Structure 1
Amino acid sequence: MNRSSVVLAELSASDVVLVVVTMVSVVSVVAMVIALQQILTVLRQVRTTLDEINARAVPLVDDLARSLAEANEELARVDRLVGSAESISATVDATSKLAYRALSAPVIKTVAVTSGASRAARRLRGDGRS
């Protein structure tokens, strides 16, 4: 027993610090390895989740692109229809103005002649109403 107590007594303070630092280093390395394993597990889960999201998102993006193309086609068609309607409206407006100008004077003259003729006919018949 004497010998082992002598061995312990021979350790200097720097030797004790060296042993403690070595033990702390070993524990730290083990903790880092465990943490890295957990990080790798999380990264694998993230990769799996991203693969699933990608598998679901690609068809949705394709559908969205198709829907957008269809909407653009419909918008172009509606734009053409609105343009045609505006053109037809302008043509009808111009035609109605032309018809009004062309027919208003003869219609007014016809009404005046008819009114004058009916007055003249009444006078000739002797109705006396003016």
Structure 2
Amino acid sequence: MEFHRGRLFDHVHLRVKDLEVSKKFYQAIMDVLGVPMGSVGPGTFYADELFVTPADPGAPSGRGVHLAFQAKDRETVHRVYEAALKAGGKDNGAPGERKYHPGYYAAFFFDPDGNNIEAVYHGPGKRSADSVVIVA
């Protein structure tokens, strides 16, 4: 497995209410993106820089995190969106062109904890197809 492929972030750590539900959700997305998932022990999973563990009991969940996965093309944006919804995600903006810059094509959805997740394609020649971006 390859880590730290020249991206800005060392890792992103999400704390989730139900690890198995979240694992199924993120596995569906990673399968489309071609990113392998693993585990460093019971109660964790990871996919490259994304590290997920259970939340502390009583801790508030999600809704404050926006995580954007970069897709290699528009078709991959659609496939990630469809996989996310089939795996328990909730729609937050169907695939389509956005006004952020010319060629910005994205889909938005909530993960099982309410985090705002995005699949984005920036257009030909814009950033690498395997980057991960997080915006708080």
Query: What range describes the TM-score normalised by the shorter chain of this pair?
Result: under 0.3
TM-score by length of 2: 0.14
User: Which one has more relative contact order, counting CA pairs under 8 Å at least 6 apart?
Assistant: 2
TM-score by length of 1: 0.15
Which of the two has greater helix per residue?
1
